[in-house]
Structure 1
């Protein structure tokens, strides 16, 4: 256990929704701590409340009970310290890649020269420097998502909340975007909570996998992923297969346990030496 405060702390969060005359409990007494610069993935069966939890952390939903804190301060709405990336790219179709990445900086009143420099830095970091003046309609799905990631990084949030960002992509592009994300994260550290339905993706990206149980949504298990280079060798290793099997079993063969004990992340974050993703392939 670490003595430093958690970057994100979810404390007894319950969320219910009205369904006619009845109520539906999406989350039930969830506790979760995430350390500064930790990369955590959240996986679980449909209906386990993953997106609801992210929406509460993003300030888009309010918990019915309990509270969520960022840097010890209760979340009361959206904030610039939390960047959110959804499965849909949410790019402005009439703006170029550069203009999309600059958008948040423009609304924040950043000077033209500074926002141009910051946008260019992150456009290059995600491998889109040759497409800076292209409109989103001319880009592939993977390239659009890289643009969304660059835009989120450009406003300098300390936290990235990512809800199935690669879910709509084909398998090959998805693998390349996973490597690209880790490469970007290794250079520009942030605290990341990444929601996914894909067990392989959950294991490959994170140093801690949080498994949720459904109906009502709650933390079911926590699986540590030892730090090592995340590359093709890791994907094909017996170590990866063992971790994947553990997570798979925890997701799809839940035995009715009520909750897992979830410590603040203390383990080393994943290292990455992933090759740069060619900008024309994703």
Structure 2
């Protein structure tokens, strides 16, 4: 089904009964209500749902950037209680250092890990090659297009070798053509690197082209409404979107999330 990609049955992250609420002027707003989810080795999970359903809050809790009010999140059986290099986070706004070159940005996390200069450069160049940016290694972020900046952010996240990549609408601000291109690149990188990916998107088509599992969320309060397994074979590309069963899956997700 998934070519030579082994989607393991071993769960990497386990979310159990997670709840999160914020105090507002009108009282308590429950953002996540009793969320349960198992993320398995090599999964590419896409999460879709209306605005305000808690997608980003859930991602932040998985990344250790926010704490749940109730329930637990375990990464390989260990409670998540803060950020960790084993979980790389990629946001929609590229968060690159403007004063560093492309290479310097990708090397940054490796430097924090104490990896020696030569090895650092070697690793960074490998990932820049993977995202097709080798010849821009000496450029600065201001000289790059949005799509290129996002590629640098992806290379930087991959370079520190996290086990799990948490991606919050990383292609949300890009035009359709660049977006399609980066979807294909991300899939190719995923097939090579075998990372576990948890990817938030508003775009149903994007969810179906990327994921082996689509998680659909409901709002007020945010909870998992449904899960759909996407049985389209990998490798996938833009032509996959022309298949009849792609259209069926897309419609199924759309009806489930946005149609009441």
1:237 aligned onto 2:247: no
Give the structure 2 partner of residue 103 of structure 1: 108
Alignment of 1:68-79 (within 5 A): 68-79=73-84
The CA distance in 2 between the partners of 1:107 and 1:50, in whole Å, is 29
Alignment of 1:145-164 (within 5 A): 145-164=150-169
SS at match of 1:30: strand
Give the structure 1 partner of residue 259 of structure 2: 253
The CA distance in 2 between the partners of 1:77 and 1:120, in whole Å, is 29
Alignment of 1:18-57 (within 5 A): 18-20=23-25, 22-57=27-62
The CA distance in 1 between the partners of 2:237 and 2:156, in whole Å, is 26
| Equivalent pairs, count | 253
Shift of 1:4: 4.9
CA offsets per residue over residues 201-253 of structure 1, 9 Å max, x none? 00000000000000000000101101413123211111110000000001012
The CA distance in 1 between the partners of 2:232 and 2:194, in whole Å, is 15
Change (3 A) 1:252 1:21: closer
Change (3 A) 1:4 1:40: closer
Give the structure 2 partner of residue 267 of structure 1: none
Shift of 1:107: 1.4
The CA distance in 1 between the partners of 2:46 and 2:109, in whole Å, is 26
1:8 aligned onto 2:9: no
CA contact (8 A) 2:8 2:42 kept: no
Across the aligned residues of Structure 1 and Structure 2, the Cα RMSD in angstroms comes to 1.3
List gaps (5 residues or longer) in structure 1.
255-282
Change (3 A) 1:71 1:64: same
Q: TM-score, normalised by structure 1?
A: 0.88
List gaps (5 residues or longer) in structure 2.
1-6
Please, which of 61, 71, 77 is the counterpart of residue 66 of structure 1?
71
Shift of 1:189: 1.2
CA contact (8 A) 1:5 1:71 kept: no
Alignment of 1:193-212 (within 5 A): 193-212=198-217
The CA distance in 1 between the partners of 2:191 and 2:10, in whole Å, is 22
CA contact (8 A) 1:94 1:135 kept: yes
CA offsets per residue over residues 55-101 of structure 1, 9 Å max, x none? 00010111111011111111000001000000000000010000000
The CA distance in 2 between the partners of 1:249 and 1:54, in whole Å, is 24
Moved runs in structure 1, 4+ residues, more than 2 A? 2-5
